[in-house]
Structure 1
Amino acid sequence: MVSVLRLRRALRFFVVLPIVLLAGCGDFFPPINGGGSSSGSDIVYVANASSTSVTAYAMSTGALVAVSGSPYTLSFTPTAIAVTPANTFVYVAGSGVVYVYSIGTGGVLTAANNGAAVANGNVVSMDISPDGKWLFTLDADGTTIEEYSINTSTGILTAASGALYTFGAGTTPVPKAIKVAPNGNYVIVALGTAGEIVYGFNTSTGAMSESQRLSAPGSTSDNAIAMDKNTAYLFIARSGNSAGLGVYTIGTGGALTIVSGSPFATSGQSTSVVVDNTATYVYVGNQGDGTISGFTIGTGGALTALSGSPYSAGKTMTALAADSTGKYILAAANGGSPDLGMYAFDSSTAGRIYTVSSTTTAYGPVAVAVTH
């Protein structure tokens, strides 16, 4: 068992790269315009590596409609993106830095913090606690998680007490994903061939302590994780010898117990996973063949493949997301058209999804985040 290092990291930026948010004419960094989308619809934000940009689309009409000013140009290559639960800020990480943007009317983004970075670190994944008080980043160095408290008025981050957590000697992780449990009690990281680490989390104090390690099967990479809204199950997208969707029950203290039949078969090289907002269905993005595998979540976490699964999707799948209304699943792919697909649920066949809108802009999406 590895001790938690209680270190405080001051946020000092000796070199700050400027961000260009092309949201219209006027000041280079327009003032924060209050925050909080009043568009009346979910917005999906997409971090694009090829074009070093963030694109934003509204979904209220049943189609992907570009938000005013989108795409927003960045001065760095993004790797991760996250939206606060109150839909006030978007955090974008990449090239050793983290920047914050306020969300305005219609989902429009404006550079916050006077356009300066709010944190540093080579981030591969990040997530925000359900109460919006804490942001966690998983570093590409393969050894650390960093924790920050969020100023909910300005979006500025401050390194939390005991902010730096390491995985310990003898561990050879390949960092993939970090997720905060919907109930706020756990933080779980996926570390490729090194499996998962579960941390107990106190959202009042920000304290985090390791509670369990889950080994990945031999010659298997755990690439992405998701939990249902009830924090009852952990879903792991896997590739390699034990490819498919691993399913575990989440017990007292975050204890993980494998569900009978796990891993459940997908169509190959699963690299992303999302649970719909009813906790009834789970979907897996398969990078190998550009498909989405869908399952019904049954008693005890047992899965049953959905009718028509796997569903055709974009080439080289990179990320999945679900909108808060429960109407759509979003799928990003950076290997060609479409870059971003929006899928609706077939009313005649439970859980089955079909494409209702897509973009073909070839921006190279690597991560997506949807308003809550």
Structure 2
Amino acid sequence: MRSRFWGCLAVAAFCLTGCTGFWDAPASSGGGGTGSTTLSSGDVYVLNVATSQMVGLYVNAGALTVLPGSPYTLSAAPIAITVAPNNAFLYVSTLGGIFVYNVNTSTGELTVGNSGQPISSDPATSMQVDSTNTWLVEGVSGTSNLFAIHVNATTGLLASNTEQTAVLPATSLEQVAVSPDDSSVLAAMGSGGTAIVGFNPNNANPFGTVGTIGVKNANGAALSVAFDPGPSGSTVPRLFYIGETVATSGSNTGGLRVVNFSTRQEISGSPYAIGGLAPYSILPLSTGDYVYVVSRQTSSGSTGVIAGFSITSANSAFTLTALGSTFATGTNPQALVEDNTQAFVFAADFGGSPDLIGYVFDTTNAGYLDKVISNATGTDPVQASAVAALH
């Protein structure tokens, strides 16, 4: 267990509101009754576009606390962030390229690698490291290529100067995801649908055959993708998810499409209504019991919502059941992440009000999210655009 000793001084130094005054009581969706003095989380990292900063934070005894060395000034506006599965390094994509940071797993502190120079000039829209920690898979919106950068599993630095490519059938890339078993990559391509690309990290070029899943509605767009984490003890996912606009009926037409990983068939009941218009981020919990979708806006305005679903299976058939309530976020939320204690879900809100929200799981209503902490991640407006966590 890491030693936590920075406390309120670190928070005050970062211009947060301090260890008191920013606490939000748990939501009324179940009244979990978690005491504020006992709450603690793992480390999370937030990108602030307007200030070109990366901020490291964690919850300690109910207080949102800044990690040592944070905030980290970036040379250009940030776009995307990802942490390698081994927690040894973290990548930040900016308008000036992709930078690697070494992670001190005892303190959460980051140290920029590669002498502060980018390992790639790509302004990656989205990226993820495969489970072998040797391939950084990324894509740039406006291009038809998916890229794989070969990196050293210990240092995160380049193992080869040659980027491998897969040609996508569309150029409007929104998000990428690598399957837990490293066999597939998903790429959400807006109105171009979703590409599913074969992947093998043992090959010199890890990319394989490129297939396409069209959008559900001709006016819709695929914005987000994610893989189910797979059953306990296995890395093979059961399902994968696609977040699309104009996928369901009603006033909030965003939807969650759910596909059986083995059969590549959409399950019965899919797409599922998510209570919003723009599904920007999908978070399957590491336990495999629930999946959450955050909508950047709803038909009534820019205040987003999180929809949650429980997942059950019987005779190789899967069922998602919507929780009885959606959960409020701030303005234009863009990203969700689960921390490595499996106790918190964090949401980053591009429009603020506030910038970062932490939820715990309700102890009465299974799967419900209780908002227990929220705050700015700098001097607003910071435009918090992405959040990542140690695994």
TM-score normalized by structure 1? 0.83
CA distance in 1, matches of 2:126, 2:59: 25
Return the letter of the residue paired with 1:210.
T
Residues 51-80 of structure 1, C-alpha deviations (whole Å, 9 max, x = no match): 101011123545432112211111100100
Alignment match, 2:275:
267
Per the alignment, residue 249 of structure 1 pairs with: 260
Match of 1:223 in 2: 223
Which residue in the other structure is 1:291 paired with? 305
Amino acid at match of 1:72: Y
CA contact (8 A) 1:248 1:301 kept: no
Structure 2 residue matching 1:50: 3-state secondary structure: coil
8 Å Cα contact 2:142/2:171 also seen in 1: no
Aligned with 1:337 (options 353, 360, 365): 353
Q: Distance in 2 between matches of 1:211 and 1:89?
A: 29
Residues 85-138 of structure 1, C-alpha deviations (whole Å, 9 max, x = no match): 111111101114001111124111111111111111121000000121111111
Distance verdict in 2 for CA 1:228–1:154, change over 3 Å: same
Structure 1 range deviating more: 209-218 or 107-116: 209-218
Partner Cα separation in structure 1 for residue 114 and residue 389 of structure 2:
22
Q: Which runs of 5+ in 2 are unaligned?
A: 1-12, 14-39, 231-236, 249-253, 299-303
Q: 1:223 touches 1:271 (CA, 8 Å); kept in 2? A: yes
Aligned length: 327
1:285–1:292: 8 Å Cα contact kept in structure 2? yes
Change (3 A) 1:203 1:241: closer
Q: Say which SS state the counterpart of residue 114 (structure 1) adopts.
A: helix
- Distance in 2 (alpha carbons) for counterparts of 1:301 and 1:210: 27
Contact persistence 2:200–2:208 (CA under 8 A)? no
Q: Which 4+ residue blocks in structure 1 deviate beyond 6 angstroms?
A: none
1:368 maps onto 2:387 in alignment: yes
Farther-moved stretch of structure 1 (153-162 vs 130-139): 153-162
The equivalent position to 1:355 in structure 2, one of 345, 362, 371, is 371
Identify the residue that residue 178 of structure 2 maps to in structure 1.
180
- Aligned counterpart, 1:236: 242
Match of 1:68 in 2: 68
Aligned pairs for 1:1-80 within 5 A: 42-59=42-59, 61-80=61-80
**1:301 aligned to which of 296, 299, 318:** 318
Q: Deviations over 1:198-245 (max 9, x none)?
A: 112112225211252111121111111111111111111111254211
Distance verdict in 2 for CA 1:69–1:96, change over 3 Å: closer
Aligned counterpart, 2:3: none
Aligned CA RMSD, in angstroms, stands at: 1.9
Q: Which residue of 1 aligns with 2:208?
A: 209
Structure 1, unmatched stretches of 5+, are 1-23, 25-39
Question: What are the within-5 Å matches in structure 2 for residues 89-128 of structure 1?
Answer: 89-104=89-104, 105-128=106-129
Contact 1:239 1:271 in 2 (8 A): no
Distance 1:235 1:63, change over 3 A: farther
After TM superposition, the score normalised by the length of structure 2 is 0.79
- The one-letter code of the counterpart of 1:287 is R
- Which region of structure 1 is more displaced relative to structure 2, 338-347 or 240-249? 240-249
Q: 1:359 is aligned with what amino acid?
A: N
